[in-house]
Amino acid sequence: MNASVRLSASSLRAHKRRFAGTFLAVFLGVAFLAGTLVMGDTLRASFDTMFGNATSGTDAVVRSADAITTPGESEGVREPVATDLVGTIEKVPGVEAAAPNIQGAGQLIGRNGDPIGGQGPPTLAGNWITDPELNAYRLAEGHAPRGPGEVVIDRGTAERGDLKIGDTTTLRTPDPVKVTVVGLATFGGEDGMAQVTFTGMTRADAEKYLTAAPGEAATIQVRAGPGVSQQELVDELTPVLPKGVEAITGQESAEENTDMISSQFLSVFTTLLLVFSGVALLVATFSIHNTFAIVVAQRTRENALLRALGASRRQVTVATLVEASAVAVIASAAGIAGGIGIAAGLQALFPAIGFPFPEGDLVISGLSMALPLAVGVVVCLGSALLPAVRAGRTAPLAALRETAVDTSGASRTRAVTGLALIALALGVTFTGVLASPSIWLAATGAVLALIAFVVLGPVASTTAVRVLGGPLDRLRGVTGGLARRNALRSPKRTAATASALMIGVAVVSLFTVFGASLKATMDQTVARSFAGDVAISTPSFGAGGSGLSPRLADAVQRLPEVDTAVGLGRGVAEVDGKGRALTVTDPAALERTFDLGEIRGSMNGLGTDGIAITENEAGKQHLKTGDKARLTFTDGRTQTFTVRAVYGRSELAGDYVITRDAWAPHRTQDADTLVAVSFKDGVGTDDGKAAVEKAAAQYGNPEVQTRDEYAQSAAGGIDMMLTLVYALLALAVLIALLGIANTLTLAIHERTRELGLLRAVGQTRSQLRAMVRWESILVAAFGTVGGLALGAFLGWVLVEASDGASDSAFAFAMPPLQLTVVALVGLTAGALAGLRPARRAARLDVLRAIATE
């Protein structure tokens, strides 16, 4: 064992450059993983601290006990509590103070006329609680609101909207309200709660604009007297609260808020980063394996001499693994330090780009350090295991012969195995997405397809390089022909080098195809369902924004250019015990403006006790026209509705439709999410749109869009997602690029004598550089083409699996321009990867190179 360690140490000292690429691949993968874990822990701890500071004076929260949660939403909607309870609560022993917390949606307009926020995080408005210990916000400048129209806003919102104390602006509630900023506030010591906006009003204004009727609040905040713990306070409150109302501790409320942020953003954010860390490490695995495979092949005679001198197979294998372990531990340890640096950089970057995460020290847990270190070591050792075993099997007689060119990659066994895996992958995939829709089957098929590509790589590389490199003989003459032959000499090595880039390109192509398919789906949905001419809508990304005034549709309807204007509001209720979103609208106008497909029954006579549902939901609930459905609303009341219509399509209209009169007794803050407008015959789009914009300007100036603009706007979040994906995948492409460069560098070392002979017989330095660069481009072209094919297939699988798992019809789209850009980026990466090895090859001394053994 000691001899193996000494051999490994000697080899590492003598050949440090050989492992530079491996070191970088492990370092980058581990750094990304460690940075993700540290950043996630830091954000959770920062939000815990922020919510804890903000609610430190609140010892108990009184609220409705039940919440209705609709599919796809993590936070339920609760019934308001009566503000009359404040008097009862204040009489409870141990209570020092209590205050109602009225809260709703309210979106401020900035100095430039654009709404502030609303692209995901909520835009909140509420009453300014005068008790500073019960108020989560702290007044930093100015004074509290004292009269109608006076508001306090958080500093972050003021900065983004370029607003200051004394400014007058509009607050959408969703009806526009003229307000004057009289104070600026902080939340938990920060300028705001991430991107959430807050507007504090007088209690009278909050009741007027944010509730259906005076005397309602979202919660009641309670402060305990001296010596009373939070749990003791809750125990005292519980007996005096009416049925359906509960009390929880302030700590539980803060934890729920943190969990909500975690479930809605942090978990998604960290999961996304962890997925890309995994992709980066997978790409690194190919690069690491290739490095050790080449190094072992180059040291065949050296290992054979060791065997001839008495070294056992085990000693040679262990020596190789010790080298891998040393590289793994050093690179992983450096990667952990780099990960801490990445987390610190992200912590500084987010506020700089306008996303003010809470400040705080980095949280570095034992798991965040141990897991990346273990993953880095396991990935490196696992990648080096097969080359190490191969090194141990070197026969002593190999010291007496030249090393043969590796052609094992193109074996018939590998070809048969690869083809069998492809057949199995296609069979499982088609079963999972077409015959018997199953996400698990589709995912299994996708993984099998990836494995099949890797197994078949060495077999396919020979044909692929011949085809892709064919034009080089004509375009670059002897130089191009030599580059092609060099890429062909070791199919296994070429495939392993290209596989790293293939994985990166495949994931990029997968998201590109899926993003284009989502856009095509939205275009298809709008074209098929929306029969109007223009749309007035709220932001499509996330749940932010205040919505549109319910009075806007009536105002637009009165325009002489308009035939029909229908607003779509949103409500929630439990339908036979299951939370469902309701579309609140004029059903007759909805039928004229939207294509609802085949309708059984009538949309005209819903009244206050009728409901229309989609055919899909009718099947799930076992309902048909004339049947009864029980709806339980957030106010706790249950009402029986008669199914008076069953319609075919739900993409924009929703699955359940009721009238505004039916919703009115149960509403809280009423708002529309969309107003669809159809013009009268003979009215041009430009003239009609201008008239609608003029009318909408009186209701907070929401955006008016044509059908095409509405479809593009609805898909706007997809481009944002793809930008983030491409930025994260740049790391995987960088690691693949390092792998290609490292392979070529090691191959040049292997071919030193050959390169010297080429220079001796007349090859110029520029020709030698060109030969190495074109070899790099050929390897990259093979990886890029394979990645594009695999990514397009996986994109199709993801679209079809989503289609099977969803009630909506997904459209598959292949974006030629974007995929062409991906291909060019892959080829450019190959050209860049070949620059350094090409320069190094050109600098070889001819006589020394010829004399090299």
Choose the weakest-confidence range: 123-137, 463-477, 671-685: 463-477
Q: How far is CA 751 from CA 410, 687, 748, in A?
A: 22, 73, 5
Residue 477, sorted as left (phi over 0), alpha (psi -120 to 50) or beta, turns out to be left
Greater confidence, 853 or 499? Answer: 499
What pLDDT sits at residue 9? 59
Rg for the chain, CA atoms, rounded:
33
What is the DSSP annotation of 793-824? HHHHHHHHHHHHHSSSPP-----HHHHHHHHH
- Whether residue 465 contacts residue 487, with contact meaning beta carbons closer than 8 Å, is answered with yes
Encoded amino acid at 681, one letter: D
Return d(Cα 613, Cα 617) in angstroms, integer: 7
Give the tens place of pLDDT for each residue, 118-164.
666 778 899 999 998 898 899 999 999 999 999 999 998 999 899 99
Greater confidence, 770 or 627? Answer: 627
Average pLDDT, the chain: 81
What pLDDT sits at residue 405? 45
Tell me what percent of the residues of the chain surpass a pLDDT of 90.
20
- Torsion sign over Cα 181, 182, 188, 189: positive
Mean pLDDT of the 58-78 span: 81
Per-residue confidence band for 267, with pLDDT thresholds at 50, 70 and 90: confident
| Closest to 63 in 3D by CA, of 82, 88, 84 | 82
What pLDDT sits at residue 542? 42
What pLDDT sits at residue 88? 92
Mean pLDDT of the 547-555 span: 89
Per-range mean pLDDT, top range of 228-232, 346-350, 476-480: 228-232
What pLDDT sits at residue 556? 93
Residue 656 has pLDDT above 70, yes or no: yes
- Torsion sign over Cα 589, 592, 593, 594: positive
Choose the weakest-confidence range: 204-208, 519-523, 603-607, 631-635: 519-523
Choose the weakest-confidence range: 6-15, 33-42, 255-264, 540-549: 6-15
Residue 166 has pLDDT above 90, yes or no: yes
Per-range mean pLDDT, top range of 59-68, 191-200, 257-266: 59-68
What pLDDT sits at residue 541? 42
Greater confidence, 411 or 452? Answer: 452
How many contiguous H segments (helices) and E segments (strands) does the chain have?
26, 26
What 3-state DSSP class applies to 403? Answer: coil
Residue 406 has pLDDT above 60, yes or no: no
Angle at 167 between CA 163 and CA 173, to 5 degrees: 80
Tell me what percent of the residues of the chain surpass a pLDDT of 70.
86
Residue 60 has pLDDT above 80, yes or no: yes
What 3-state DSSP class applies to 704? Answer: strand
- Whether residue 631 contacts residue 638, with contact meaning beta carbons closer than 8 Å, is answered with yes
**Residue 603, exposed/middle/buried by CB under 10 A (0-12, 13-18, 19+)?**
buried
Please list, in sequence order, all residues whose beta carbon lies within 8 angstroms of the beta carbon of residue 212, skipping any fewer than 6 positions away: 667, 668, 669, 670
What pLDDT sits at residue 398? 54
Beta bridge partners of 81: 217
Choose the weakest-confidence range: 215-219, 676-680, 844-848: 844-848
Give the tens place of pLDDT for each residue, 730-762.
777 777 777 777 777 766 666 666 667 777 777
Residue 385 has pLDDT above 50, yes or no: yes
- Residue 415, both tokens: 């070809």
Greater confidence, 331 or 19? Answer: 331
Q: Where are the domains of the chain?
A: 1-59+250-404, 60-249, 550-699
- Whether residue 66 contacts residue 174, with contact meaning beta carbons closer than 8 Å, is answered with no
Residue 848 has pLDDT above 60, yes or no: yes
* pTM score of the predicted model: 0.74
What pLDDT sits at residue 852? 56
Mean pLDDT of the 492-513 span: 80
Mean pLDDT of the 619-623 span: 85
Mean pLDDT of the 696-722 span: 79
Torsion of Cα atoms, 478 then 481 then 487 then 489, to 10°: -90
- Residue 430, both tokens: 């088609």
- Whether residue 36 contacts residue 270, with contact meaning beta carbons closer than 8 Å, is answered with yes
What pLDDT sits at residue 636? 80
What pLDDT sits at residue 708? 82
Return d(Cα 251, Cα 500) in angstroms, integer: 48
Residue 229 has pLDDT above 80, yes or no: yes
Encoded amino acid at 836, one letter: R
Residue 776 has pLDDT above 50, yes or no: yes
E strand intervals along 499-561: 534-537
309-312: which pairs have CB atoms within 8 A and are 24 or more residues apart?
Answer: 311/3
Residue 193 has pLDDT above 80, yes or no: no
Per-residue confidence band for 384, with pLDDT thresholds at 50, 70 and 90: confident
Return d(Cα 13, Cα 6) in angstroms, integer: 11
Give the tens place of pLDDT for each residue, 302-312.
666 766 767 77
Name the phi and psi angles at 339, rounded to 5: -65, -40
What pLDDT sits at residue 746? 66
Encoded amino acid at 86, one letter: V
Return d(Cα 336, Cα 373) in angstroms, integer: 7
Per-range mean pLDDT, top range of 93-102, 290-299, 323-332, 806-815: 93-102
Return d(Cα 424, Cα 452) in angstroms, integer: 9
